[in-house]
Amino acid sequence: MTCHRRESVLIDTSFDTILDFVAHADLPVYFPASYRTQKKIKERKIKLPKQLIMVDPIGYEELLILLTHSKAVFTDSGTLNEEASVLTIPCVNIRKSTERPQVYDVRGAVKFDPDQSGKYTPEIIYKKLNKIIGTSWKHALGDGKASERIAKDIIKRLRENRLRGHLPENSHLPIKRSFIEDGIKI
C-alpha cells in the first residue's frame, strides 16, 4: 500500500476511512509510509490495523519487487496504479479521480474514494477486488515508444523556441474521464 497524498493523509476522515478499509483485509498489507504520513499517525496517536505492516519509505526497485510479489496493491499514487495494470497486478485506486482512467477500462483497478465511505464500503471494494484477482487483461497504456516521442517533441520545441512550461493550449487533454467509475459489476 502507498498512501501519501494530502487529501488521503491530512483529512482525518479520509485517512480513517482508508485505515478502516485496510482493517478489513484478509492478508497482511505492507505499507512503506512517507515520513509525513508517519508524523500524522504519531500526532493523532492512531492505532494501526493489525494487518498493516508499516515501514519507512523504500526505493523504486524495492517497490517494484514488492509489487510483482503482491496479490494486489492499494494506492493513492498517480503512477503505481498504471504500473500495476501493466504488470497485471489488481489495484485499489484510493482516489477521487485518476490521471490513468485506462486502468478502469481494462478492469484492472477498483475505485475507492475515501470521501464517499457510504458508496465505497470495504465490503463492496473487496468484492470487486476479489472479482479481478487472478484475471488478466491487456493494458492500453502505451506502446513503449513514449521516450522517443518526448525527445522529438523537446527537440522540436527547442528549435522553435517554444520550450516554456506545460501550456494547456499546447497539450491540453480532456479531464472528464479522470472521474469515471471502475465499471466492475458485483
pLDDT in tens, 91-105: 999 999 998 899 999
Q: Does domain 6-141 have CATH number 3.40.50.2000?
A: yes
Task: Pick 43 or 141 by higher pLDDT.
Answer: 43
Per-residue pLDDT at 168 exceeds 60: no
- DSSP secondary structure letter of residue 178: G
For the segment 95-121, the average pLDDT, to the nearest whole number, is 94
**Other beta carbons within 10 Å of 87:** 15
Per-residue pLDDT at 165 exceeds 70: no
The percentage of residues in the chain with a pLDDT greater than 90, rounded to a whole number, is 75
pTM comes to 0.79
Distance in angstroms (rounded) separating the CA atoms of residues 100 and 90 = 14
